Amino acid sequence: MKKFINNPEDVVEEMLEGMAAAHSDELRRLPGWNVLVRKDAPLPGKVGLVSGGGSGHEPAHAGYIGENMLDAAVAGEVFTSPAPDQIFEAIKAVDSGSGVLLIVKNFSGDVMNFDMAAEMAAAEGIETAQVVVKDDIAVERKEDRRGTAGTVLVHKIVGTALEEGLNLQEAVELAHHVTSRLGSMGISLSPSTVPASGKPGFTLADDEMELGTGIHGEPGMERKKIQPADAVAEELLDNVTAELDVKNGDDVIVLVNGQGSTPLMELYIVYRKAAQLLFERNISIHKSMVGEYMSSLEMAGCSLTLLKLDDTLKKYVT
């Protein structure tokens, strides 16, 4: 293991200290908690927006704190869900009395910890609602699908809408509307290493790639010989468009996400082909995002996310 760390046990704490110091103009740390909140939170009258999960996916989630996005982000240990008391602190810090919406990636740990935090909030009279993102179409059963890079689009659209004054119930409906039109698929070239374990999460031969891997290296659909970027882009795009039934005349947001150690150069090469194919199929790209949005430590690979837009969603895409 070769990393710029001090002690594997301190990585989350030290990262949070670094983030709070670097971005003190926009966010603050709740003293004693692994929670970063928007500096001006709670905003009077606004429904709070909280997300979080295991660390190691930076900039997710603390990087999305700010206007039109999150009010708070909760950081768990690396690739491990945060505990309920941490999430509860975040909820309390951003609640203005209008309730708090929790955006959760669908992993059993995250779901259970956020459930418990919501119960703790209810016991103190704070209203919360949860939306679980299940955008990873590599998993067959819809209810088992994992939350991946598409989560960022949920933050963005719901965050923008909340700023405009949606109430909690309306925000839940909007978030469900987003997730019903959202799909992602990843492809990986090499694994990541969680500092505490010191060992790579999986192994892949030098000439292999794995289609459908999750953001913690969960197994995908298939391993095969590595292919050129164009073929990779086409396979990801075909899978996601088929799943979302994106067709001629539709409008989409395209997100090509880097898993951690794949250069932007390669992400753009993948994006290029995806954009060409969409153009040929007369699907228009309303907005493009290329970069690291939901990383997986130093995993190599990328994922492609599409959000199929409609008039409701377009209102909130800036």
Partner 1 sequence: MELTLNVMKRWLVTADEKMQNHKEYLSELDQAIGDGDHGHNMARGFQAAVENVKENTEEDIGSLIKAAAMTLISKVGGASGPLYGTAFLKASDEWKGKDSLSQDEFTKGLEAAVEGIKTRGKAESGGKTMLDVWTPVLEYIQHHDIAASDLSAKAKESMQQTENMKAEKGRASYYGEESISHTDPGAYSSYLLFEALAEALDKEEA
Ligand X SMILES: Nc1ncnc2c1ncn2[C@@H]1O[C@H](COP(=O)(O)OP(=O)(O)OP(=O)(O)O)[C@@H](O)[C@H]1O
Under the binding rule (CB under 6 A), the answer on residue 88 touching ligand X is no
Active site positions, annotated = 57, 216
199 binds, among partner 1, ligand X, none (CB under 5 to 8 A by kind): partner 1
Q: Which of residues 133-162 bind partner 1 (CB under 8 A)?
A: 139, 144, 146
Q: What gap in Å lies between CA 302 and CA 204, rounded to an integer?
A: 15
264 binds, among ligand X, partner 1, none (CB under 5 to 8 A by kind): none
Question: What angle is formed at CA 10 by the lines to CA 296 and CA 67, rounded to 5 degrees?
Answer: 60
Under the binding rule (CB under 6 A), the answer on residue 184 touching ligand X is no
CB of 113 to ligand X, least distance (A): 7
Residue 194 phi, psi (nearest 5): -70, 125
Q: Which is nearer to ligand X, 147 or 183 (CB)?
A: 147
Please give the single-letter amino acid code of residue 159.
G
Backbone conformation region of residue 99, classed left if phi is above 0, alpha if psi is from -120 to 50, else beta: left
Of the listed pieces 112-120, 165-173, 177-185, 253-261, which binds partner 1 according to CB under 8 A?
A: 112-120
Under the binding rule (CB under 6 A), the answer on residue 192 touching ligand X is no
Say which residue the tokens 């009010």 belong to. Answer: 71
Under the binding rule (CB under 6 A), the answer on residue 81 touching ligand X is yes
144 binds, among ligand X, partner 1, none (CB under 5 to 8 A by kind): partner 1
Half-sphere exposure of 14 (CA within 13 A, CB side): 8
Question: What angle is formed at CA 108 by the lines to CA 194 and CA 172, rounded to 5 degrees?
Answer: 115
Binding mask 24-63 for partner 1 (x = CB under 8 A): ----------------------------------------
Task: Indicate the angle between helix axes 108-123 and 84-94, nearest 10 degrees.
Answer: 50
Q: Which one-letter DSSP state was computed for residue 296?
A: B
Residues that bind ligand X (CB under 6 A): 54, 79-81, 107-109
